Homo-oligomer: A and B are copies of this chain.
């Protein structure tokens, strides 16, 4: 994604949280605080486990989310926003707000 080579701050942020699911994942984590793998899977209607795993790994390696593994059986893994991820909060709210507003003014 060439994340480090973007001069434009908007382009940089897009490269960071772009794609079909990342902002929605972050949004769910922002709303709920903590989510488990299968909870996210249900909330992102059609995502496949392979894709969800990849998105979560990328978000983690970019430092936007935390992954907390509990060594139990059955396994339990909790995802949550990191401090950096939380700094996206108002951006996420803008997305929510704009979407709600657009949908309200352009009913299907």
Residues of chain A at the chain B interface (Cβ within 8 Å):
4, 6, 8-14, 16, 18-20, 23-24, 27, 84, 87-88, 90-92, 94-103, 108
Judge whether B9 and A24 touch: CB under 8 Å: no
Shortest Cβ distance from A83 into chain B, in angstroms?
Answer: 11
* Partner among B4, B11, B84, B103 whose Cβ is within 8 Å of the Cβ of A24: B11
Judge whether A87 and B98 touch: CB under 8 Å: yes
- The residue in chain B whose Cβ has the minimal distance to the Cβ of A104 is B9
On chain B, the residues within 8 Å of A91 by CB distance are: 91, 94-95, 98
DSSP majority for the A interface?
helix
Judge whether B23 and A20 touch: CB under 8 Å: no
Judge whether B9 and A100 touch: CB under 8 Å: yes
Judge whether A102 and B90 touch: CB under 8 Å: no
Judge whether A27 and B10 touch: CB under 8 Å: yes
A98 to B93, CA, bound (A): 14
7 closest Cβ pairs, A-B complex: A9-B99, A13-B99, A91-B94, A12-B99, A10-B27, A13-B95, A10-B95
